[in-house]
Amino acid sequence: MDTAAATEYIQDRTLSLSAEEFELLCESVLTESLPPARFSVTAFRQDGGIDIDGSVQNSLLDISLGVQVKQYSPTNTVGSPEIQRFQGALSDTGCDTGTVITTSSFTDPAIESAQRAGIHLVNGRSLFESMVDLQVGVHRETERFEPNDTFWELFGTPEEDGSIPSKQIPLANSFETLDSVLETIGNTRGTKADIVANADVSSRHADLYAVAGWILGFVHQEWPDDETHRQRRWSLTRNGARYVAYRAAEIDEEAEQLLIDAIRDTEIITRLTRTLRESESISHSTLIERIESESELSRSSAKRRASSVGVWLDRLPEVSVENGREKTYLWQEP
């Protein structure tokens, strides 16, 4: 593809994303375009409010930014009332500056309102061209571009009808460590180095717990694993940001419900609870067998991950654990 075709390809793929996926995409583009900055989706979506917050902090700057994104069709322009509401949101949250990103364009009154308020505007053409320049969603091969299908596959919730990929089976059995890793991802650029330095975990555990957050739908992986030229980075989804916000505010009941719902929705737990509901109890050895049969894992790998899966299963209120000669998981109707 030439540059024009690559830009059109980026536009088509971007418009096919869900609203939250588009926010995550914009967060990725912003972070990639401004290496010193940190961006993350906000915990709660509010009409007219801030979808992504960010900050630039170094020895010379300390700036807070608010970003609103509008995934509109090309004919649906952003008007001045939306800019004015966003200006109010920036004032309410104390942001130093703000940006509105849209897949469409802005009316002349909207542009005038933004100029008076010092708000930066990014229309669809500028967004898509920037993504091509940054090679977000496309690869550059000499003078031409190729689609980066693996990048776009990172968006959405994994669904498996057959064997569950090994990456979707957790190897993280400490929810306290998970909370620390999620908080770090939300407060930093989300690289492995950030997680190791701020969450007090090893390099190996930084990956394992970030992947656990991804399995729960709390974390988005920003680049495919095979893109060695990019630094692996994680960001919070809106559910992840909400969970971290609830934990920070000690609203533990709401946080726990988010966590329980997320655990229930993971593919391996869904299949295991179906089995458990039918049989009313399963032993730990049966749990290992089920993990092996339902996934791409070997017997030894299934055995290693069974401990974490069991901890996740035990977190559900409808499951209890009996410790005898062999651990047994019991189904109890809520």
Helix (H) or strand (E) run with residue 64 in it: strand 62-70
| 161 band by pLDDT with thresholds 50, 70 and 90 | low
143, pLDDT greater than 90: no
Tens-digit pLDDT profile for residues 257-285: 999 999 999 999 999 999 999 999 999 99
Tens-digit pLDDT profile for residues 219-252: 999 988 877 667 789 999 999 999 999 999 999 9
| 218 band by pLDDT with thresholds 50, 70 and 90 | very high
Query: Domain-by-domain residue ranges, the chain?
Result: 3-152, 167-263, 266-334
79, pLDDT greater than 80: yes
Was domain 3-152 assigned CATH 3.30.1330.120? no
152, pLDDT greater than 80: yes
What gap in Å lies between CA 41 and CA 53, rounded to an integer? 6
CB 258 within 8 A of CB 246: yes
The reply to whether domains 167-263 and 266-334 share a CATH topology is yes
pLDDT, averaged across the chain: 92
140, pLDDT greater than 70: yes
By CB neighbour count within 10 A (0-12 exposed, 13-18 middle, 19+ buried), where does 156 fall?
exposed
Question: Could you say which DSSP state residue 333 is in?
Answer: -
Residues above pLDDT 90, as percent of the chain: 82
| 57 band by pLDDT with thresholds 50, 70 and 90 | confident
What gap in Å lies between CA 146 and CA 134, rounded to an integer? 13
What gap in Å lies between CA 179 and CA 41, rounded to an integer? 17
What pLDDT does 160 receive?
61
28, pLDDT greater than 70: yes
Tens-digit pLDDT profile for residues 182-197: 999 999 999 999 999 9
In this structure, the number of other CB atoms found within 10 A of the CB of residue 280 comes to 10
Helix (H) or strand (E) run with residue 147 in it: strand 144-147
| 58 band by pLDDT with thresholds 50, 70 and 90 | confident
318, pLDDT greater than 80: yes
50, pLDDT greater than 70: yes
What pLDDT does 228 receive?
67
What pLDDT does 142 receive?
78
| 9 band by pLDDT with thresholds 50, 70 and 90 | very high
159, pLDDT greater than 70: no
Was domain 266-334 assigned CATH 1.10.1130.10? no
Over range 40-60, report the average pLDDT: 86
What pLDDT does 51 receive?
95
87, pLDDT greater than 70: yes
| 61 band by pLDDT with thresholds 50, 70 and 90 | confident
Task: Please give the full DSSP string across 82-133, using - where no structure is assigned.
Answer: HHHHHHHHHHHHT-SEEEEEESS-B-HHHHHHHHHHTEEEE-HHHHHHHHHH
What gap in Å lies between CA 334 and CA 329, rounded to an integer? 15
Of the ranges 45-49, 57-61, 93-97, 260-264, which is most confident? 260-264
Class of domain 167-263: mainly alpha
What gap in Å lies between CA 173 and CA 231, rounded to an integer? 26
What gap in Å lies between CA 124 and CA 71, rounded to an integer? 9
Assigned token pair, 28: 């990725």
> What distances in angstroms separate CA 83 from CA 17, 107, 119, one per listed residue?
23, 10, 8
What pLDDT does 44 receive?
87
Answering whether pTM is above 0.75, one says: yes
> What distances in angstroms separate CA 133 from CA 33, 140, 194, 234, 311, one per listed residue?
10, 9, 26, 22, 45
47, pLDDT greater than 70: no
Assigned token pair, 79: 């008007």
Over range 61-69, report the average pLDDT: 92
What pLDDT does 118 receive?
95
